């Protein structure tokens, strides 16, 4: 048996409890990981609360099929499935698994990678979903050298990676965040910072539209507003945003509308879904170990305070990354 956070049904994060559950067994293509740290991101909040309701179609209609929440992890491999070739017991890995808010979690071998040499377990657990999502957006943007990029939600988990990746590619980056995160966003390399509580970053100006690329991780602004900030052939990358109304889709309908509109426009409106895979983790590890990007942790909670950690991230105003420690 092992110590784990247990989710008996959908509900507020406070309903999460510390429990004792069986150690999972890896399937043929999986590894078992002794979790040393687990990342917390808004996706976990959605699965814990079951909101928007559309989430339940994927995770279980009445209650979550997986009773232990958590995806991001960093830890040490303690068992490998019969078809796993590239990983061995004792390897330190990071990536995504099933039920990472526990002492042990299983992960598909093709969704983890050897940990970046320069990171602690806590830092490594802060990378997988946010880093891979920002990487997917940067790739869809195309060549960023010399281009003007605006990142909405620049002080959040995905946004902090997006700012750094765009800078590493040679872009001129404007980070949009609230005033309290301005210094942090500058420290990530942003050339300019806009406080959205004072200035609407998408407001029409007499000057030409400013941005070749807008990476939207926050706020659920309307597509028409976001397009105003783009050059005539600019690219809008839609990652997420928690402020949408409606308990069924909570803003995900923007992604669908973007797909419908985009073929009719010179601008490109592109929904971004982060993929979990070893190759992208290896790319991120390379960028980290050569000092081009770095994960930033704002708060570390012990495993037993997972409810507080999930509520903190669910506030929609977390700074950089939040992790659970299992040391």
Chain positions contacting ligand NAP, by CB under 6 A: 41-43, 129-130, 133, 152-153, 155-159, 176-178, 181, 196, 217-219, 239-243, 272-274, 313, 316-319
Nearest residue (CB) to ligand NAP, 144 versus 163: 163
Nearest residue (CB) to ligand NAP, 32 versus 258: 258
In the complex, what is the shortest distance from the CB of residue 225 to ligand NAP, in angstroms, rounded to a whole number? 11
Nearest residue (CB) to ligand NAP, 24 versus 156: 156
Select the residue whose beta carbon is closest to ligand NAP and give its number.
156
Nearest residue (CB) to ligand NAP, 80 versus 236: 236
In the complex, what is the shortest distance from the CB of residue 274 to ligand NAP, in angstroms, rounded to a whole number? 4
Report the relative pairing of strands 321-325 and 297-302 from DSSP bridges: parallel
Question: What is the rounded CA–CA span in Å between residue 152 and residue 49?
Answer: 25
Nearest residue (CB) to ligand NAP, 130 versus 278: 130
In the complex, what is the shortest distance from the CB of residue 313 to ligand NAP, in angstroms, rounded to a whole number? 6
Residues present in the chain in total? 327
In the complex, what is the shortest distance from the CB of residue 266 to ligand NAP, in angstroms, rounded to a whole number? 24
In the complex, what is the shortest distance from the CB of residue 137 to ligand NAP, in angstroms, rounded to a whole number? 9
For residue 207, what are the contacts with CB-CB under 8 A and spacing of at least 6?
A: none
In the complex, what is the shortest distance from the CB of residue 80 to ligand NAP, in angstroms, rounded to a whole number? 28
Question: What is the rounded CA–CA span in Å between residue 118 and residue 320?
Answer: 19
Nearest residue (CB) to ligand NAP, 26 versus 255: 255
């Amino acid at each position: 048996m092992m110590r784990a956070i247990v989710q008996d049904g959908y509900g507020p994060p406070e309903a999460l409890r510390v429990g004792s559950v069986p150690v999972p067994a890896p399937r043929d293509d999986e590894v078992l990981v002794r979790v040393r740290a687990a990342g917390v991101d808004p996706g976990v909040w959605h699965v814990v609360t079951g909101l928007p309701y559309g989430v339940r179609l994927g995770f279980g209609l009445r209650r979550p099929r997986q009773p232990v929440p958590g995806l991001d992890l960093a830890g040490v491999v303690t068992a490998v499935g019969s078809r796993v070739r590239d990983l061995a017991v004792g390897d330190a890995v990071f990536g995504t698994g099933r039920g990472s808010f526990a002492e042990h979690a299983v992960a598909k071998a093709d969704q983890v990678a050897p940990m970046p040499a320069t990171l602690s377990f806590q830092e490594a657990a802060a990378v997988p979903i946010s880093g891979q999502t920002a990487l997917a957006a940067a790739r869809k943007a195309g060549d960023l050298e010399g281009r003007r990029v605006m990142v909405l939600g620049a002080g959040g988990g995905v946004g902090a990676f997006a700012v750094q990746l765009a800078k590493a590619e040679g872009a001129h980056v404007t980070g949009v965040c609230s005033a309290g995160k301005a210094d942090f966003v500058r420290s990530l390399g942003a050339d300019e910072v806009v406080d959205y509580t004072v200035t609407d970053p998408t407001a029409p100006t007499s000057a030409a539209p400013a941005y070749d690329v807008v990476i939207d991780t926050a706020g659920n602004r309307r597509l028409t507003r976001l397009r105003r900030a783009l050059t005539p052939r600019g690219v809008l990358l839609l990652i997420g945003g928690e402020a949408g109304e409606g308990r069924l889709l909570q803003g995900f309908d923007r992604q669908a509308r973007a797909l419908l509109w985009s073929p009719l426009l010179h601008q490109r409106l592109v929904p971004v879904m982060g993929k979990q895979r070893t190759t992208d983790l290896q790319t991120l590890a390379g960028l980290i170990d050569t000092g081009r990007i770095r994960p930033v942790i704002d708060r570390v909670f012990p495993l037993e305070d997972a409810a507080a950690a999930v509520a903190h991230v669910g506030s929609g105003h977390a700074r950089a990354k939040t992790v659970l420690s299992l040391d």
